[in-house]
């Protein structure tokens, strides 16, 4: 009887641990987060440099945009960073990195990218995008304050 009881207990612990680890991995990948603040990424700007770097940035940006839409935020971040490596002034890519990090609840990383996007939008005279970015920062701040009250 003790062996059967032990095996039952061991099976139960294994199942519970497996489900818990699986849930953590799922949430870490981004699709499992219950606190998705931003459903839609920022679309690619109309004008990118007419160069191989600009073309590659557009490809990476589009792949990041698609991954974001599929709630694969880690993959989206990787593509947006590659776009930034090609065109360092691509404010929309910084903005989307910030949104993806926020959806992963990595607010500190999110704010770094959003502030960089803010500086670029300001330099580029993109007031409408800057206004939207401020709303996004406010949503992150509100979530942070709500967590502190819990």
Write down the pLDDT at residue 38: 96
> Taking the domains of the chain in order of start, what are their residue ranges?
52-149
Rounded-to-integer distance, Cα 123 and Cα 89, Å: 10
pLDDT 10s digits, 50-83: 899 999 999 999 999 999 999 999 999 999 999 9
pLDDT 10s digits, 10-37: 555 454 445 445 444 444 444 444 469 9
E-only strand ranges, the chain: none
pTM to 2 decimal places: 0.76
- Answer whether 108's CB lies under 8 Å from 99's CB: no
- Sign of CA pseudo-dihedral 59, 118, 75, 82: positive
- Sign of CA pseudo-dihedral 103, 106, 107, 113: negative
105's CB contacts (< 8 A; 6+ apart) are 33, 35
pLDDT 10s digits, 71-118: 999 999 999 999 999 999 999 999 999 999 999 999 999 999 999 999
* Architecture of the structural domain at 52-149: Alpha Horseshoe (1.25)
């Amino acid at each position: 009887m003790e062996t059967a009881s032990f095996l039952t207990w061991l099976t139960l612990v294994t199942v519970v641990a497996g489900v818990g680890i699986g849930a953590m991995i799922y949430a870490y990948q981004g699709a499992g987060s219950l606190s998705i603040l931003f459903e839609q990424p920022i679309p690619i700007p109309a004008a990118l440099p007419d160069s191989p770097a600009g073309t590659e940035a557009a490809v990476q940006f589009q792949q990041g945009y698609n991954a974001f839409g599929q709630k694969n935020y880690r993959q989206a971040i990787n593509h947006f960073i590659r776009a930034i490596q090609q065109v360092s002034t691509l404010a929309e890519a910084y903005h989307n990195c910030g949104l993806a990090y926020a959806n992963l609840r990595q607010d500190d990383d999110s704010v770094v990218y959003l502030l960089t996007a803010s500086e670029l939008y300001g330099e580029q005279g993109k007031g409408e995008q800057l206004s939207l970015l401020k709303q996004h920062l406010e949503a992150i701040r509100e979530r942070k304050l709500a967590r502190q009250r819990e």
